[in-house]
Amino acid sequence: MHTKQDLLSLGNLTATELTDLLTLATALKQEWKVGGNAPVLKGKVLGMVFTKPSLRTRVSFEMGMHHLGGHALYIAPDEIQMGKRESIPDVARVLSRYVDGIMARVFAHADVVTLAQYSRVPVINGLSDYTHPCQGLADLLTIIEHKGTVKGVTIAYLGDANNVANSLALGGTLLGAHVRIGSPYGYSLRENVAHLAGQFAAASGGSLTQVVDPHEAVHGADVIYTDTWTSMGQESQAVQRALVFPPYQVNSNLVRLAQPDAVIMHCLPAHRGQEITDEVADSPHSVLWDQAENRMHAQKAVLVKLLT
């Protein structure tokens, strides 16, 4: 087996590798803004496997490949029925004979791990129930743009400590941020993520704190981040979640406890009136649209790194 690189979790990267990706993303964004990217992926094809729908993931990867001179092939959920119609190892074996890289947006993280194991080309995790590394990269890029750095920045995440929170905690602590997770009992970070983020923080001078009180989480924070209370695949828990999460809503009262120049982040889609209010999402503090755009630029860096 020849060695290939995959991107399955930010937790698999070193601080240097993560910094290099973010530096490259910044350069590619600048290049794009002043006249377009060089076609460094000319002749390359990215196969995009979706088992759940998407706006940002599909369009940002497709446009990213287009800007870099390559081509993206969208494979809809019903076309493969990965794991049902055909085994995941076989999908990986076949697809990697046709394309130069695979991006997969899946429910179970084990599926993207299996794809990577049996694929002869690089595999990128476009989202799994465990982690969302591309979103994490976009988040860190956005924080750098608005705060100048990640090191020493206090990032407060409110709500369900889900795949997005996992990536934010891992990437943030790797680069020396003070990450605070404010979640109800039973919805905090997985133990393995908290353990790994704790190790990263010890090495980088950052910190990881988990609290139940949302006010404590956002007090003096530089960044306030939230996400939907019920993710795809958790619909059966929606009623229960709607009872426990309202105190974690990012609204004007909560934002007042943060730094005066705090920025508000959300990976989208936002359920306005639930985890975030219109007033906050559309306020001068909001960097939601920069964050969404940065998915494309962060992923371009990943594509250049893995496919050239």
**Which of the following is catalytic: 178, 180, 295, 297?**
295
> Alpha-carbon distance 41 to 28, whole Å?
13
132 is catalytic: yes
Radius of gyration of the chain (CA): 19
111 is catalytic: no
Closest-CA residue to 294 (of 268, 275, 261):
268
Backbone phi, then psi, for 177, in 5-degree steps? Answer: -80, 160
Q: How far is CA 228 from CA 13, 42, 133, 256, in A?
A: 27, 37, 17, 21
Residue in the structure block whose two tokens are 């599926």? 111
**Which of the following is catalytic: 139, 267, 274, 291?**
267
**Which of the following is catalytic: 67, 105, 266, 297?**
105
* Torsion on CA atoms 209, 214, 217, 221, rounded to nearest 10: 150
295 is catalytic: yes
CB 176 within 8 A of CB 152: yes
**Which of the following is catalytic: 67, 100, 111, 135?**
135
Closest-CA residue to 169 (of 126, 117, 204):
204
227 is catalytic: yes
Backbone phi, then psi, for 86, in 5-degree steps? Answer: -145, 140
**Which of the following is catalytic: 6, 129, 227, 285?**
227
105 is catalytic: yes
Closest-CA residue to 138 (of 304, 300, 305):
300
Q: What is the DSSP letter of 10?
A: G
**Which of the following is catalytic: 109, 132, 180, 285?**
132
190 is catalytic: no
Long-range contacts of 63-66 (CB under 8 A, 24+ apart): 63/296, 64/296, 64/297, 64/299, 64/300, 64/303, 65/41, 65/303
Which active-site residues does the annotation give? 105, 132, 135, 227, 267, 295
